[in-house]
Chains A and B, each alone.
Chain A
Amino acid sequence: MALDIKLLEKLTSAFGPSGREVAVADLVSQELKTMKLKTKRDVHGSTRVTLGNSGKKIILAAHLDEIGLISTYIDKDGFIKASPVGFVYKEGLFGNRVQFENGTWGVISSEKTHPKPEIEMHKFFIDIGAKDRKEAEKLLPIGTFGVFARDLVKAANGRVISKALDDRIGVYVLLKVIKELASVDLKDTVNFVFTVQEEFSGLGAATSAFGIAPHIAIAVDVTDSDDTRENKYLNMRLDSGPAIKIMDASLISHPKLKEHFISIAKKNKIPYQLEVLPYGGTDAGTMSLVKKGIPSIGISIPTRYIHTPSEMISSTDVENTIKLLVAAVKGKIGGAL
């Protein structure tokens, strides 16, 4: 099962910073419509489809949103100040192109003083080509959301570089899992939830989990692949398979779920790795705290250069993540506890 580059490219190029995920949600709904599946959308835009209607209630979540920027101020010369939406590496801002929700484009820069100014968010501005404040106000009202635009490209060894692989690759994985399972008789009620605002506040995961009140929640997201030249701090590597999350800063995965996924990987001879991330968090952490508490786990796709406009994944990891999730859902996740 090769990577469906066409679908992934559609997903990653879609505009969808936290709070403005409609275009990505529409893509998901369209894609599921081709499988004759109807999606539901909640008040905040989280989109879901349910397969099966027996056994335990499961959530499999991936988030629609990506990191971005919001315009906050226009100076008298028409340059834009902005605040990050989600965690943005300020070191990587210089020279990036920003695509705004209203179609305006701009480039991020800072004054070229010598010595170079310290890298601080407030020293960056966005140039949208406007000549003065009045013109800029028309082109870009305050409070307009933007994303770091960058095309998807293929690299060597089945690796892919693109913006927003966090978490469109998770969205892609869920779409493929749904396709494999759409005609299978499932032993659980599996809610595939495409959440909003994971990068910002976890809003979509919180409200969706409240509404569904599942027995088990699983978030499919990216994790840092720490395998560049100097970095050997973390365990995760590209091409070593899906990472079964043991913990991050938002969650300690339910131990029985962890054991369950390890045993499924072993039984089906799917390569896997274990993830211990001393920082960060995903929708799994948010969902674990909803209502009376929900046993939760993260299944992560190892990714290099997360939260930059050029994140890198390996297609074999994606394939193996799909295999692992398909095997898990077919095998009754509800029995894991």
Chain B
Amino acid sequence: MKFAMELSATFGPSGNEEPVSALLRDELEPHGVEFKQSSLGSLIGIKPGKIKGPGIILSAHMDEVGFLISKINKDGTLSFRTVGGIDSRLLPSKAVQIGENRLRGVIMSPPVHLKRGKDVLKVKDLRIFIGCEDKQSAAKLVSLGDYATFYTVPEKTDNGWIRGKAWDDRIGCFIISEILKKDWDIDITGVFTVQEEVGLRGIQSALHMIKGDFAFAVEGTTSHSSPDEGLDNSPSTICGNGPAITAMDRMSIGNSGLKKLLEEVARMNSIPFQYKMTATGGTETFYLLRHRTGIPSICVSVPVRYIHAPVGMILIKDVENTLKLLEEGISLLQLKLKKLYGGK
């Protein structure tokens, strides 16, 4: 899990994914992965198999939700905009890192005696404090348009969880990396995309550079934050119940053949799994499904508590089971594709 934690700690809001891309390259290069990059910055890592053919596509996005500095105020504080969906209720008094130097700051929060009875502050009314008391000194450290993210040091708990930011979707990047490190009979193409959180942008251009017979989008997804008993509404997923298979979300219907294959593989290998219990949100599956004449595709996710937040929590066993489910699924598809390609 060391590499997963490194990925989590890395700075990479939408449009500024280069640090994540560089980390993935360094990690995967010694394992015989061949790289291409799309002009928007998506990283494509192909692990060549013994038998040539389009093979299997695995997609995860490198970007995380974050902030853009929109104004340096007279009092030295910074106004900002969010990049991707962030609930403004989560923001006051959270640590952030800004720009290339990863300058640390804190999103300001009025003290409790002044706050009492006030509504939730909107993003446009929030400021980041970097210790500067006037515009001039702040402007030396920060420029307009600088990116920022939450500043969170990932760490393991004693009971099987990891805390950290950006599990959506660094955990997908981690799982795909682990798969690319292994040797396969067919080509495995990992697509590490940019700008997913601002409208599924990176995948659209990256797809023009790759081929695949089947595809999996590997995601971190919403999970409920307390035990589900007694709930009348859906918790989406439950941490500890294993990888979540998405039958349908707002934009795509998971390929029914791949859904069956994953169910079968899970049962054969006693891998726990769950179905995502909401039909909301959209993933890269949408573009994988409708690329050219169509690629059978489905989304598999790791449940994340407190997604799009300063600290999220995932269970290591969910990550391991997601990896196992995908690896067993790929092994089975590999047999089918070997026949299709007529390889030895």
Contact = CB atoms under 8 A, between A and B. Distances in A.
Contacts of A70: 247-248, 279
Nearest to A204: B294
A280 interface: no
B295 interface: yes
A44 B233 contact: no
B189 interface: no
Interface stretch (A31-39, A56-64, A151-159, A195-203): A195-203
Nearest to B247: A143
A98 to B, nearest CB: 15
A203 B290 contact: yes
A203 B294 contact: yes
A144 B260 CA distance: 12
Contacts of B252: 201, 203
B100 interface: no
A210 interface: yes
A85 B255 CA distance: 15
A142 B277 CA distance: 7
B298 to A, nearest CB: 11
A211 B293 contact: yes
A142 B241 CA distance: 14
Is chain B's interface secondary structure helix, strand, loop, or mixed overall? loop
B137 interface: no
A143 B290 contact: no
B118 interface: no
A145 B293 CA distance: 24
Nearest to B263: A141
A85 B250 CA distance: 9
Nearest to A212: B293
Contacts of B113: none
Interface in B214-232: 229-232
B268 to A, nearest CB: 17
A181 B274 CA distance: 49
A73 interface: yes
Interface string A6-42: 0000000000001110000000000000000000001
A42 B290 CA distance: 12
Contacts of A18: 253
A143 B248 contact: yes
A44 B247 contact: no
Nearest to A143: B247
A18 B234 CA distance: 23
B290 A83 contact: no
Interface of A: 18-20, 42-44, 70, 72-73, 75-76, 81, 83, 85, 122, 141-145, 197, 200-201, 203, 206-208, 210-211
The 10 closest A-B pairs by CB, nearest first: A143-B247, A19-B253, A207-B294, A83-B279, A73-B234, A142-B275, A211-B293, A143-B275, A73-B277, A206-B290
27 contacts: A19-B248, A20-B256, A43-B293, A44-B255, A44-B289, A44-B294, A44-B296, A72-B277, A72-B278, A73-B277, A73-B278, A75-B231, A76-B230, A76-B231, A83-B280, A85-B248, A122-B233, A142-B274, A142-B277, A143-B246, A143-B248, A201-B286, A201-B290, A207-B293, A208-B293, A210-B292, A211-B292
